[in-house]
Structure 1
């Protein structure tokens, strides 16, 4: 099944949402779930039924590479 960006996260049936081990457990984190065809969904843990971003495998790889390279560190 294919999902569009902005789909309600609770409409992604069977998704196994996962938080990072660095999560503080205070509801201030993102969660990710592997989807079919290598896609990855991401949602805000404070709004579990809110919209989800859906990444293609290539987009997910690019995002992770940029995060690991600290390219987003100046946003905080």
Structure 2
């Protein structure tokens, strides 16, 4: 478990935030940043000072694998 707590102010982290090249011009995207302890922080790009969600790298890897497999596609179709 990361010593960085969930909900910490994202801008307080000494982290290099990465935005997807698939982000749109309105800034509706999620940014990720690797933390020193190996955890990964996520933040809403529209609220860079807002709270960060901190996950273990294995959790993020599982999420990315599931997204690549289309396991969450139904969530996008529900809002369309």
Aligned length: 75
Secondary structure at 2:27's aligned position in 1?
coil
Alignment gaps of 5+ in structure 1: none
Larger radius of gyration: 2
Residue 45 of structure 2 corresponds to residue 73 of structure 1: no
Alignment gaps of 5+ in structure 2: none
The whole-number CA distance in structure 2 between the counterparts of 1:43 and 1:25 is 17
- Spell out structure 1 runs of 4+ moving beyond 6 A: none
Q: Any residues of structure 2 matched to 1:1-76 within 5 Å, and which?
A: 2-12=3-13, 14-76=14-76
The whole-number CA distance in structure 2 between the counterparts of 1:70 and 1:38 is 26
TM-score normalised over the length of structure 2: 0.84
**TM-align CA RMSD:** 1.4
